Amino acid sequence: MTPDHISLHNKQFEPYLSAAQLSEAVQTVAARLNQDYAGQTPLFVAVLNGSFMFVADLLKHITLDCEVSFIKVASYQGTSSTGEVRELLGLTEDLQGRPVIILEDIVDTGHTMRRLLDTLAEKQPASLEVATLFLKPECLQHELSIRYVGLSIPNDFIVGYGLDYDGLGRNYPDVYKAV
């Protein structure tokens, strides 16, 4: 049962998106990836920590041969982006000539994604795309072409389904927004 509100640190959150809505969005993204990459063996690069639930659920619906790698970057402190991206844990696979899809939980300002795209493009993949569960179009501060978007959402601060507020809230199967 979904709580009618949750409290994390000093903030209150109310239900926003149910686990069923999230599952439908994930399956839609997976279906498009399966279609677009049929006959290929893409490398999925999952951005930790927030994407872990999205990635786990997405991969259950991927019917392609694929590889998965994880990287960890950070640009958030509290409820807002610092604008500074720090790569914390790197990628060891050779990307040259391979189709690469970055898997991200949420793209808002685009600072992290711009840095990742620039960094990974230097490794000369055959193609480089982004699949994100959430996109906040009104927050974007960079010109980004994001081909696979589960849900476009307004500029609300959200937690749950892998997303956190200073470390708390990732474990909820539903998504909540700050009130």
pLDDT band at 85; cut points 50, 70, 90? low
The third-level CATH classification (topology) of the domain covering 19-158 is Rossmann fold (3.40.50)
Query: Looking at residue 74, what is its pLDDT?
Result: 59
> d(Cα 62, Cα 109) in Å, to the nearest integer?
28
Nearest by Cα to 78 from 157, 175, 131, 176? 157
> d(Cα 146, Cα 32) in Å, to the nearest integer?
13
Does the annotation count 166 as an active-site position? no
Could you say which of 57, 105, 108, 174 is catalytic? Answer: 108
Digit-coded pLDDT (tens) for 101-143:
999 999 999 988 998 899 899 999 999 999 999 999 999 999 9
Query: What's this model's pTM, rounded to 2 decimal places?
Result: 0.91
Q: Where are the beta strands (DSSP E) in the chain?
A: 6-8, 11-17, 43-48, 67-77, 80-89, 99-107, 127-135, 148-152, 158-159, 175-178
Write down the domain spans for the chain.
Answer: 19-158
Half-sphere exposure of 60 (CA within 13 A, CB side): 9
In sequence order, which residues have a C-beta less than 8 Å from that of residue 35 and are 6 or more positions away?
Answer: none
Which has more confidence, 93 or 77?
A: 93
Digit-coded pLDDT (tens) for 24-82:
999 999 999 999 999 999 999 999 999 999 999 999 999 999 999 999 875 555 555 55
Digit-coded pLDDT (tens) for 2-21:
778 999 999 999 999 999 99
